[in-house]
């Protein structure tokens, strides 16, 4: 709806109530010089329609038609039209975790079904109702480990998303948590040997990413076992689409699994809203942050849904709460649930197969170009790293002019990888798209 500002009489009434004769006196009493510089001659105002047309003109300059090969944790997947159609229904669009659950059975059932889907996807036993995003969820998993073990040291792989690691660093500024970061290998691996050596009796948890930030697929069963041998928890940040075809974190004996759920029916956007998911082994359930919806029966034997084990996060003194986060991304969680339901079990597996096969095709096409070399020879899902004979960021900039968002320059976060490019391929990219990227890149090199 159009914005209606305060009228002159509204402002005058507020100033009188505050004891000021005018706005200038208010600034003067506050010891503040007039906050705005002279604006010169201000043009006549425009109508709402004229403003909208002007904004559309400005928005037309955005690079919305680039063929997207950027990943790094956020992916350009096909979103069935049914997803937006269903979540836009009035019953869902204002969804919020209810404080009187018995009055909101539909919302609670949707959250319960979402939790069930996340548990099946990750191979874990209990999921919460969602968290803000993948980075927030990973931080909450870290703090859950610290509180569960009573230890203050965390070991984190350098092959975990640098975006997530920066978020954790930001959250930990005023927390007494020691973070040991183990550098990734020189290829696309997490350097599992050194990661295992960093564990000790002081470790609260070890954190890895699956597949890792460079796209590498690794079996973390040994790391999880090493963590448990030291009395620590094993935490995994997972890409949900990859779990359609890969061994689940639950099968590798992780204690906590988190991840960014954007790839499950949520469009790419500049900052969100996105979706953080978290699932744990049942023995850790009472330490898990966020809401949990459970299924029960009433006195008449009718099935119903309730918020359960609430005292771990609300109705409790702040210092005893599992976490001070008590909100969730209900609408985004519903998007993920609808997406998984519409795509279906076999369709989701087919999606994973498509992503993998197209990524292999793209890598092979790009490696035909003189000067481009592979980085790492391990298995990958839908992302891989190549080495180019120039600064990768400069190459990406030139390819934007050719109509391609060609990948993620690793030099942005890894100073020793300025000539390396992380390329993501989803089911949306056709063979023609891939060959066109290869031709454009070859012409520039």
Residues 6 or more apart from 243 whose CB is under 8 A from it? 121, 122, 249
Question: Residue 22 domain-assigned?
Answer: no
Residue 18 burial by Cβ neighbours in a 10 Å radius (0-12, 13-18, 19+): exposed
> What range does the domain containing 148 cover?
81-342
Give residue 283's pLDDT. 96
Same structural domain, 323 and 349: no
Give residue 241's pLDDT. 98
Q: Look at strands 233-238 and 373-374 and give their pairing.
A: unpaired
Question: Residue 20 domain-assigned?
Answer: no
Give residue 134's pLDDT. 96
Total domains, the chain: 2
What's the whole-number mean pLDDT along residues 270-295?
92
Question: Residue 198 domain-assigned?
Answer: yes
3-state secondary structure of 208: strand
Question: Residue 400 domain-assigned?
Answer: yes
326: pLDDT strictly greater than 70: no
Give residue 313's pLDDT. 61
From 342, 367, 391, give the residue that closes a domain.
342
Identify whether the C-beta of residue 354 lies closer than 8 Å to the C-beta of residue 135.
Answer: no
CATH no. for residue 309? 3.40.640.10
Q: Residue for token digits 């404080």?
A: 99
CATH no. for residue 364? 3.90.1150.10
State the Cα–Cα distance between residues 73 and 134, nearest whole angstrom: 9
Same structural domain, 371 and 318: no
Give residue 62's pLDDT. 79
From 342, 365, 396, give the residue that closes a domain.
342
291: pLDDT strictly greater than 90: no
Q: Cis bond leading into 265, ω under 30°?
A: no
Interhelix angle 330-343/105-122, nearest 10 degrees: 60
pLDDT tens digits, one per residue of 104-155? 888 889 999 999 999 999 999 999 999 999 999 999 999 999 999 999 999 9
Question: Residue 301 domain-assigned?
Answer: yes
Torsion, CA 416, CA 420, CA 426, CA 431, rounded to 10: -170
101: pLDDT strictly greater than 90: no
Same structural domain, 374 and 225: no
367: pLDDT strictly greater than 90: yes
Same structural domain, 396 and 354: yes
Residues 6 or more apart from 275 whose CB is under 8 A from it? 130, 133, 260, 261, 262, 264, 266, 329, 332, 333, 335, 336
Same structural domain, 278 and 417: no
Give residue 366's pLDDT. 98
First to last CA, the chain: 51
Same structural domain, 153 and 213: yes
Residue 247 burial by Cβ neighbours in a 10 Å radius (0-12, 13-18, 19+): middle
Same structural domain, 234 and 326: yes
Same structural domain, 89 and 100: yes
Give residue 1's pLDDT. 44
State the Cα–Cα distance between residues 126 and 289, nearest whole angstrom: 12
Give residue 249's pLDDT. 98
Q: Which among 165, 128, 148, 288 is positioned nearest to 227, based on CA atoms? A: 148
Identify whether the C-beta of residue 196 lies closer than 8 Å to the C-beta of residue 226.
Answer: yes
Same structural domain, 243 and 371: no
From 308, 342, 376, give the residue that closes a domain.
342
Which pLDDT band holds residue 99 (cuts at 50, 70, 90)?
Answer: low
Question: Residue 40 domain-assigned?
Answer: no
Give residue 221's pLDDT. 98
Same structural domain, 335 and 434: no
Beta bridge partner(s), residue 180: 155
What's the whole-number mean pLDDT along residues 344-348?
97
State the Cα–Cα distance between residues 266 and 277, nearest whole angstrom: 13
Q: Report CA torsion sign: 200, 202, 195, 126.
A: positive
Same structural domain, 231 and 124: yes
C-alpha to C-alpha distances, 222 to 3, 76, 193, 239, 378, nearest whole angstrom: 58, 32, 10, 20, 17
23: pLDDT strictly greater than 90: no
Question: Residue 6 domain-assigned?
Answer: no
pLDDT tens digits, one per residue of 29-88? 887 776 566 667 778 888 999 999 999 999 888 767 899 999 999 999 999 999 999 999
Same structural domain, 309 and 323: yes
C-alpha to C-alpha distances, 389 to 101, 169, 307, 309, 383, nearest whole angstrom: 59, 33, 56, 56, 20
Reading the block at residue 78, the tokens are 């096909």
Question: Residue 363 domain-assigned?
Answer: yes
Number of helices and strands in the chain (H, E): 14, 15
Identify whether the C-beta of residue 372 lies closer than 8 Å to the C-beta of residue 366.
Answer: yes
pLDDT over 70 percentage in the chain: 91
What's the whole-number mean pLDDT along residues 199-211?
98
């Amino acid at each position: 709806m159009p914005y209606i500002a305060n009228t002159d009489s509204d402002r005058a009434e507020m100033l009188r109530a505050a004891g000021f004769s005018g706005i200038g006196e208010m600034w003067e009493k506050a010891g503040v010089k007039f906050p705005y510089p002279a604006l010169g001659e201000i043009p006549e105002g425009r109508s709402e329609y004229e403003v909208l047309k002007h904004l559309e003109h400005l928005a037309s300059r955005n690079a919305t038609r680039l063929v997207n090969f950027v990943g790094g944790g956020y992916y350009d997947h096909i979103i069935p039209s049914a997803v937006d159609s269903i979540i836009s229904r009035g019953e869902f669009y204002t969804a919020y975790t209810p404080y009187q659950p018995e009055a909101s059975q539909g919302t609670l059932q949707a959250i319960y079904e979402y939790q069930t889907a996340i548990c099946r996807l990750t191979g874990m036993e209990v999921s919460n109702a969602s968290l803000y995003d993948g980075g927030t969820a990973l931080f909450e998993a870290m703090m859950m480990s610290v509180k569960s073990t009573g230890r203050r040291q965390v070991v984190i792989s350098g092959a975990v998303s640098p975006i997530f690691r920066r978020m954790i660093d930001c959250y930990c500024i005023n927390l007494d948590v020691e973070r040991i970061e183990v550098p990734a290998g020189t290829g696309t691996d997490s350097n599992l040997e050194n990661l295992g050596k960093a564990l000790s009796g002081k470790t609260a948890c070890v954190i890895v990413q699956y597949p890792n930030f460079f796209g590498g697929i690794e079996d973390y069963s040994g790391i999880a076992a090493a963590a448990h041998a030291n009395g620590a928890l094993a935490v995994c940040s997972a890409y949900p689409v990859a779990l359609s075809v890969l061994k689940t974190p639950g099968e590798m004996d992780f204690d906590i699994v988190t991840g960014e759920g954007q790839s499950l029916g949520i469009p790419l956007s500049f900052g969100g809203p996105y979706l953080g998911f978290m699932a744990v082994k049942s023995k850790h359930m009472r330490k898990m942050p966020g809401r949990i919806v459970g299924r029960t029966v009433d006195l008449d034997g009718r099935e119903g849904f309730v918020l359960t084990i609430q005292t771990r996060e609300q109705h409790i003194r702040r210092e005893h709460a599992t976490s001070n986060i008590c909100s969730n991304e209900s609408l985004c969680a519903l998007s993920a649930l609808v997406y998984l339901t519409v795509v279906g079990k076999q369709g989701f597996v087919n999606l994973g197969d498509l992503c993998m096969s197209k990524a292999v095709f793209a890598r092979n096409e790009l490696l035909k170009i003189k000067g481009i070399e592979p980085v790492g020879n391990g298995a990958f899902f839908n992302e891989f790293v190549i080495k180019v004979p120039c600064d990768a960021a400069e190459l990406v900039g030139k390819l934007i002019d050719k109509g391609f968002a060609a990948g993620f320059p690793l030099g942005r976060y890894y100073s020793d990888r300025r000539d390396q490019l992380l390329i993501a391929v989803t089911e949306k990219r056709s063979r023609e798209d891939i060959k066109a990227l290869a031709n454009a890149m070859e012409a520039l090199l």
